[in-house]
């Protein structure tokens, strides 16, 4: 199963002592984690400004994450232009889930399926992950 991670998830997971970090490490053992350059750049910029000491953990997370092409196309839902490349790349890379903690922009889309991608919060992701066995 493919899961697309938004920048705020990558940022939070980069804290080596965070629950989000443990969640993403467990997810990497069970799923194919995906992101794109747009998301990576946003997360890296925020880490550099706010938490530069977390960059090495961020790099380790990226090693467990597949990079997909940045893409943009018309979406059937209303979404800020800055967030469109996130959902478009999740759709184009055939992800089942887009995991985002961005309640302001993606919150109205939580639990909705957009072109085959279900938009969920990190809490929802943790609940789903507990029922998925490790990859062989």
The domain spanning residue 39 has which CATH number? 3.40.50.1010
Total-model pTM: 0.95
Per-residue pLDDT of the chain (136 residues; tens, 9 = 90+): 999 999 999 999 999 999 999 999 999 999 999 999 999 999 999 999 999 999 999 999 999 999 999 999 999 999 999 999 999 999 999 999 999 999 999 999 999 999 999 999 999 999 999 989 887 6
Angular region, 36: left φ>0, alpha ψ -120 to 50, beta rest: beta
Domain contains 33:
yes
Domain contains 76:
yes
- Residue-level pLDDT at 136: 66
10 Å CB burial of residue 104 (0-12, 13-18, 19+) is exposed
Print the domain residue range for 66: 2-129
């Amino acid at each position: 199963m493919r899961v697309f991670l938004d920048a705020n998830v990558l940022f939070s997971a980069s804290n080596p002592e965070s629950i989000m970090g443990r969640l993403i490490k467990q997810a990497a053992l069970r799923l194919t984690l995906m992101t794109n350059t747009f998301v990576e750049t946003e997360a890296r910029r925020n880490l550099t400004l706010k938490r530069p000491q977390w960059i090495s953990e961020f790099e380790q997370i990226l090693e467990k994450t597949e990079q997909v092409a940045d893409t943009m196309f018309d979406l059937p839902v209303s979404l800020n232009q800055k967030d469109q490349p996130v959902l478009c790349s999740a759709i184009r890379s055939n992800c089942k889930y887009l995991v985002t903690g961005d309640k302001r922009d993606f919150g109205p889309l939580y639990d909705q399926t957009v072109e085959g991608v279900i938009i969920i919060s990190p809490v929802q992701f943790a609940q789903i992950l507990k029922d998925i066995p490790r990859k062989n």
